[in-house]
Structures are given as structure tokens and as C-alpha cells.
Structure 1
């Protein structure tokens, strides 16, 4: 009788283990699920010491709504997200407000629209190389990607 009770208990324990849901994979540091970056490039200024611009195509299909509020460029002293807008009846460049991202969002960071301005650019950033860009998102997440470094006269 004891053997039957032990066998039955073992079957119940094994059955309970089989029903446990699989643990979700741990998030990868520097990667936001559902976010992809393409065509990333940093274009150096024609005059040494002036800011460089970073352009890229961002797509987001994640489950959570996020806000992109800041960025960093490796090799730059400071980075801000800029956009063009109208102020005092003039179109001008200004610091962007946080950018909302929901499933299906596609944003082209391009000349005359959203872009990153990298100030105090290191002379170590040279055309033909790459640099790391980090996007900072609400909730403490970051998304890191490489951007090709281009000379001032290259295609933006």
C-alpha cells in the first residue's frame, strides 16, 4: 500500500512540473524587443569642432508603449534629439520633446526632420569607421546600435 501511495505522489509531482509555463527569455541589455534600426550613419561636420548629425530609420513593433527621450553617441561629449519646427513664424531646429513609440511606429531620422546632434565630437571619429549610438527610453530601457561614420560631403 505504501508503494502505491509513493508512486501516486511521484506521478502528481511530475504532472505538476509538466504544467509549469516556460520562463520568458531574459531581456538582452541594450536591445529593446520589437525595435530595429537600419541605415544608421553619423555625418561629420565640414568644419572641425562643429556638431555632427546622426540619421537612421527606426521601426518599433513592441507590445509596450515607450517614449524615446534621449541619446548618446560614443565619441561625442553631448547628444540631443532635434527636430525642425516653426517658432516665431520661422522654421528652425529645436530640441525634440519625447517621441512616443507604439506598435507599428516607423520614424525616419533624416535631414530637415528628427535627427541626433552630436556635440564635441572626438577627432578619433573618422569617415569609414563606426560609432556606437545608445537610445534611452522610458522605463530605463536602452537600445544600442552602430552607425557608420561619413565625411561631411558624403550622402546624408
Structure 2
């Protein structure tokens, strides 16, 4: 084939492909992905950060976590906007004393419900910024195995308010 015949053939082939696609009813169905920062099936309720009585001391974050999705994962890391660092804590016994310690990753499957509550599993926000004030909100980011993130707002409460 000559150069001009090859161009004509290529154009005809491309045009035919376009007509075939349009004859099938238009655009292909595309499954909608969850928005960035949302893990499909995760529900967070009652999220709140309780500031310490002494400014600069760690704040505690509590919330109710539920999962109704189909993929299993584990909760492993947490970040809190306005804090130098954050970690999941729980109470356990060590050396015959009950004390606070970093929590192990939490396995999550369909139907899992976890309460992050006072005296039990909770998030500690270390070195909270003085900009975090009662009545405001801060963003909490849970990172799960595989690297997906779920971001939610937590209401900021003063020390002494209902936890």
C-alpha cells in the first residue's frame, strides 16, 4: 500500500470503530468509586476530641466505628489535623499494673463495630495545636492496611465536657 492509501485505510478503520461504539448505546458503564478519603462501608458516629486540662498535653479522641463493606482490612494508623502525632491506645496489664499502651492493629470484617471510648480503646493526639479550640472541629484520618484512608471530622470539646 502507498502512504496515502495507508492513511485512508487507517481513517476508515478509526471511523468504523467509532460507529461501532456509538451503535452499542454510547458510553460504557463506569462503576463509581468512593470519593477520596472515604472507605465504602465505613460509618463513623459521635466523633469528638476532648482537650486536656493543661494546654499542650495530649487530647483524646473518641468515636463509634462500624463497617458493612465486603473487603476485610485492619485499622492501623491514625493522624489528627493540628497534632504533632497520633496513635490508637488501649488499656492493658503490664507488670501487674493496668496502663495505657499503643493498640495493635484492629481486624475489620463485614459487621465489625468498634467503640473508641473513655477507659478503653481511644486515639491520643500528641502535642495538639493551641489553634484547636472547643466548639471547632478537626480532621481525623484512619489509614487501613493497603493504604486506603477514611477521613472524618471530630467535634472539639473542652476538658471536663462530656466525653
- TM tier, smaller: 0.7 to 0.9
1:62 to 69, 77, 82: 69
> Distance between the aligned counterparts of 1:141 and 1:37, measured in 2?
16
Q: Which has the larger radius of gyration?
A: 2
Alignment match, 1:135: 142
Q: TM-score, normalised by structure 2?
A: 0.83
Check 1:137–1:87 CA distance in 2 against 1; reply closer, same or farther (3 A cut). Answer: same
Question: How far off its partner does 1:139 sit?
Answer: 1.0
Question: How far off its partner does 1:35 sit?
Answer: 0.1
Question: How far off its partner does 1:89 sit?
Answer: 1.8
Question: How far off its partner does 1:17 sit?
Answer: 3.2
Q: Secondary structure at the match of 1:64?
A: coil
Q: Secondary structure at the match of 1:140?
A: coil
> Distance between the aligned counterparts of 2:160 and 2:104, measured in 1?
29
> Distance between the aligned counterparts of 1:117 and 1:44, measured in 2?
10
Q: Aligned-residue CA RMSD in angstroms?
A: 2.1
Residue 71 in 1 paired to residue 78 in 2? yes
Alignment match, 2:129: 122
Question: How far off its partner does 1:112 sit?
Answer: 1.1
Residue 49 in 1 paired to residue 49 in 2? no
Within-5 A mapping of 1:1-150: 13=20, 17=24, 22-150=29-157
Number of equivalenced pairs: 146
Q: TM-score, normalised by structure 1?
A: 0.86
> Distance between the aligned counterparts of 1:124 and 1:98, measured in 2?
30
> Distance between the aligned counterparts of 2:24 and 2:99, measured in 1?
62
Moved over 6 A (4+): none
Gaps of 5+ in 2: 1-15
Q: Please give the per-residue CA displacement for 1:47-96, whole angstroms capped at 9, x wherever unaligned.
A: 11210000000000111001110111111000011011111222111001
The more displaced of 83-92 and 38-47 is 83-92
Gaps of 5+ in 1: 1-8
